[in-house]
Structure 1
């Protein structure tokens, strides 16, 4: 009799995990306390997989041999506590998928900021160079769905700390850690050290034949790297130091050095602009170089990559004012990166659901570059308190259209209107994509 697998949470990762369990001959049951998306309902039903919504059948769940948990369900959930107390193994969907990939290899990208861009760029380079690979994880399909329906020799995976919390054997051939800043602390008992440890789990099972790419200019990474016993080959990136093995930028030239190979390229040829994207490009270039992709193909792909929607995305120029959609900036650090790359006066649209934000991090950049702040959220008090002595003009709005209209009225020719909210979007929007789309729509209607 095959093991009884229970899947908690029926989003993209849960449904993917269920399809893989079914394909591998396991008896499986999907349980979600919320409502299932109709597309997922249909998929589970047509695959002959048992599911429930709006409740949890505790008896059935606590009889499982193995539980695959959605990354959105925290450890303090009562059901998770009961499973732990009973000693029933609880794993994440990336751990589950990894168990069935055979000889395939994984490039795993994690970090507080830049992981989506770095993952997408790495995938773009690999595809451009002819590698047979899939884009999985937090971006694209769930890893398990890809393994079940269209397995590949290579998987390029964007991975969150929540997914890393429940790995056991997951072992990427190349692990990339972009940086570590305070984020999601509500899930880590407000202890930054727990979140840091979670990020470093990406290296936990790596061996001497694997690679770990990290940013040597990131203070938090460097303060803590020696606390973990990392067995893989270390490949740093930096703008301050040069390396024999690793990647660095000096005099506006990027050098990527791995084994006997050296790739050099001017930063002015990068499709992605801004200092933070130079770090993302070094990490992706290093990963591509490690797996032996051709230098000319890596160079071409870095030049031809198109920026992601909702991440520093140019929307339009309206009467000399540029509008930029950075709706994916859901924490203060992301907004810091956005402001850091600005060279013209900024009207900044901020606000949403605050995750315990510390706005002092961006105070200096706001003082230097921002001429007005447009608040877009249900509760804007904290933003007003943080910037009232720094920014001469601050206005409150309660929709994307109103925010865009106010920002345009406050702007002069040559200014930039930047939507980089530093907050989650759930007060006024479905998610950050919805926020970004409404922003773009409002700009088109000016």
Structure 2
């Protein structure tokens, strides 16, 4: 009997995946007319738990007890930019919880924690959605268009995780024609079931195939699906990808700190995860807006006991469809998740999200770096604007320059400028990478 690699990898790390999958099944059985009651119960429960067990949250809440949901404060990323040990709930430590870093794709990075059951529940949700398209995380081989840490230990760790999780990495730090040729050869030789990756990187591969007049499904017959994430997918780009890959293109919306937020079903509806998250669309006064109206996406993790993620403003804005219900909310539109591409003098093309791997080298648990953006103002020249209590030290600048040399390219000029505030776009989103070219 073949091994269930996905389950095994979670169980080895003491994530109770079997319990999480059973819990998910039970939640999904709750009928529509009882679903609002389920959500309200979980919302009240998680707030009361954190008020009792988390001094950081009590301090943020500023009231002695929970009365109505509308009085629950909205958390921002800035609220969470302080040492993790201040934010962990009583009874949890860094060794008993799952610890992760946000990508910083919004320019505001921080470190977070999830209890092990919540992390397993997130994965149960991914497995459930992928099965809509006949993808089994235990058996289906993934072509992963992501970055990878380039330091020795980080790289080894990620590659081991990839092996166990049936993922094969297509690093996106260099997306030149030569690299694309190598990618193509891997598809010819391997039995990939699906592609998963950053929209801009997957799109560049699609354009490469289009230029060669190839259909990927004909080269790799096992291919069933392409999932794009982290950046906005435009209609014409989707049509191009669908034509050259020969499989459905699915939009995934997630964030490391909360897991899966929304996933497209077979009818092209972007279904919000209402099982372990409560997603609201709020106006500037933190009031819920009617369906069909644009507002800020605010998320509550209903099960995370290790760390409060309650009415958390994720930094995106969106619209819930008029067809939404409590059990089946539909994301009609996600606004403000796009990233540019950096083009270097030697012809190398690097997705803007590569700068996530640069930011990882400067994220500190002190929370001293509040926000930053990277701008390319010439083929070989970049400017990093940041908000921080102090100027970057020479040592910090050196670390960033080394990371840029490792992940982006050599002989690049980088200027640093500390600012009090950073310029935002109309939706209030901070775009981490922009290019003037």
TM-score, scaled to structure 2: 0.28
Higher RCO (Cα < 8 Å, 6 or more apart): 2
TM-score, scaled to structure 1: 0.28
Structure having the higher Rg: 1
